[in-house]
Structure 1
Amino acid sequence: MQSLQKIAVALTYPPALTLVLLLVALLLALLRWRRAGLTLAALALAWSGILSIPMASDAVRGVLERQYPSVDEEHLPAADAIVVLGGGMGYRWVNRPGVTAEDLGSSRLAAGARAWLAGRAPTVVLSGGGDNGGDEDASEARRMASAIQRLGVPSSALILESKSRNTRDNARYTAALAEQHGFHRVLLVTSSLHMPRAVLQFRNEGVDVIPVPVREGAKRNTFRQQWVPSRRALWRSGRAIKEFGAIVMARLQN
């Protein structure tokens, strides 16, 4: 089952599915079903071609990103804790001289720091494990803790959840922390693309969450930025398709 899930995730990247479909099209042609093979090949190439266009990629992602609009930190309600989900980022800004939370508009950690600095909750839970061999010091949560302290959140306000390897784990282990520490309502910080799945998983675990989505990407002002195909647009499309599939799986697991 796990192997099938890995294959399904790999196929969310448009060129991977295109290659598989082209191989099937070749097989159809060899079996003398040339018209079906040509049709399938054309569809396979169109699949990646369209999704490599930045505006098309933005449209696919927008279906998820628009579900939870961004809210300024000062307008957020009070909560018992702020939960920031790891995103596998390197936090390269951490050594930038004079960096502040206001400088990092697309950072989950910065959004969590801004909410804490605005007094929305007294505690910040950093949830992220990853492939660290069980070593908490090597977990993403530990890296997140070092980075968010640069933004003004003291270690005394932090709780680290370093066991999770996916969003379902984030929700399960955070639910345990909520019960342990008496958290009844939390501000959930993750990317706007990831937010619909995260909210679903956390509510499945009985956690009362208030979404705090963080927008990704940049404005597209020129024709090239909007319409010229790129590998980055393909990658962004693949992330959205992966989220759609993961949401379906989360609903089936509920």
Structure 2
Amino acid sequence: MDFLFTLKKLFGMFASPTGLILIFLLLAIIFYKAKPKLSFRTLCLGFVVFLLGSMPPIADRLLYPFEQQYDALNTIPQNSEYIVVLGCAHTSDETMPALSQLKDCSLARVVEAVRLYRLQPNLTIITSGSNFDERISNAQMVKRAAIELGVPSSKILTENYPLDTEEEAQLIAPRVQGKGVILVTSANHMPRAVKYFEHYGVDVTPAPTHFLVKDFYGEKNLGYYLPRPSALEKSTRALYESLGQLWQWLKT
């Protein structure tokens, strides 16, 4: 696997709320005897990061700006020819159907792609994504899942080697340039994905899915203000996309 890609992923992992908490806890252990005051302060910092990152109001406020930039797609543009499904993740287990092997992000994306395909069955689906140390690529696993949902194999093309969003845009662009392209990816990932495809000369119609923040302005009950693991996931995604957009800005 590409060294720069691995380094980028490791940095993203340790720059996440969970990564920061682990770093603070490790520092607290290291300084426990030599510098007990510093140890206590780092322990407190870890607790604060954990608490704030786990609060739904804070997590939703952090992630919502990424997810609200594009609305869900309900009408297929007349010039559309392709549905491009960006890769995410799966865990190979041949005892299960392909749909069950997909992680939430990939599952949401393939379901959205199939929904759009059923609205206009003359479209061709392009799935994308490397194997990331799994036995088969994410592109192939998503294709299998789409076939399980009733899409003919002949209507699905795969791009099996991209490691990240930029490579997906770079490798898919020559195939779809000048065509009508619907882009399917997670809502929080969509702003960065659109910019990469535009950078490589492809105008896309965004079809965001896998919205993690729902009913943002709706009435909330008391339980909404209590810490929960799902909020920590949202905070992680918000920080990851912030870093991703910073990296994108630095490179382009």
TM-score bin (small chain)? 0.7 to 0.9
Cα drift, residue 193 of structure 1: 0.9
Q: Secondary structure at the match of 1:107?
A: helix
Give the equivalent residue in structure 2 for 1:60: 62
Cα drift, residue 190 of structure 1: 0.4
**Structure 2 matches for 1:211-226, cutoff 5 A?**
211-217=206-212, 222-224=221-223, 226=224
Give the equivalent residue in structure 2 for 1:100: none
Give the equivalent residue in structure 2 for 1:237: 235
Q: Secondary structure at the match of 1:188?
A: strand
**Structure 2 matches for 1:127-206, cutoff 5 A?**
127-132=128-133, 138-179=136-177, 183-206=178-201
CA distance in 1, matches of 2:125, 2:233: 31
Aligned equivalent of 1:50, options 49, 52, 55: 52
CA distance in 1, matches of 2:43, 2:247: 29
Cα drift, residue 217 of structure 1: 3.7
Check if 1:79 corresponds to 2:80.
Answer: yes
The answer to whether the Cα contact below 8 Å between 1:79 and 1:121 also exists between their aligned partners in 2 is no
TM-score, normalised to structure 1's length? 0.77
The answer to whether the Cα contact below 8 Å between 1:14 and 1:237 also exists between their aligned partners in 2 is yes
TM-score, normalised to structure 2's length? 0.78
CA distance in 2, matches of 1:37, 1:185: 57
| C-alpha spacing 1:205/1:75, structure 2 compared with 1 (3 Å) | closer
Cα drift, residue 121 of structure 1: 5.6
- The range that moved more, 193-202 or 38-47, is 38-47
Give the equivalent residue in structure 1 for 2:109: 108
| Consecutive unaligned residues in structure 1, runs of 5 or more | 97-105
CA distance in 2, matches of 1:140, 1:95: 12
CA distance in 1, matches of 2:91, 2:172: 23
